[in-house]
Amino acid sequence: MRDTRHQAWYLGPCFQLGLSAVLLSAAEVLMKKGATASLILTGMTPLFNVGALTWSVTWIGIVLYVVSFISWLYVLRLMPVTQAYCLISVVHVLVPAAAWLFLLESISLSRAAGIALVLGGTLLVGAPTTQRL
């Protein structure tokens, strides 16, 4: 196993996991913005909405998605997939929050309760565990 004591802070699995989650959330919001802008301005609903690919926000979202994926692959090298996968579920909190903030989407009370449950579960998975002797 590698000695990680002298590793830069930005190469740590927790930072990379957080980075991946934030980038993925931003990518989703940007791709939604590009997808809806293309429908609003063209007034057409073509198959698969390929017109969204003509918008720069869509491409910025795609680039962020790829960078998030690269960061995720790095995390998987350093952390058990069972833990990493549970922790990345913070995206289910970040995306609705970003959609509410930037896209002015509403969040119903029942959806907010579900988001709170996901956040609680994510915190439980991420909490350090104590080992019994």
Q: Domain map of the chain by residue range?
A: 9-126
Average confidence (pLDDT) over 88-96: 94
Rounded to whole angstroms, the Cα distance separating 7 from 111 reads 40
**pLDDT range class, residue 10, cuts 50, 70, 90:** confident
Rounded to whole angstroms, the Cα distance separating 34 from 58 reads 5
Instruction: Please state whether the predicted TM-score (pTM) of the whole model is above 0.85.
Output: no
Rounded to whole angstroms, the Cα distance separating 79 from 90 reads 16
Let me know: does 99 contact 29? Beta carbons within 8 Å.
yes
Give me the pLDDT at residue 70, please. Answer: 96
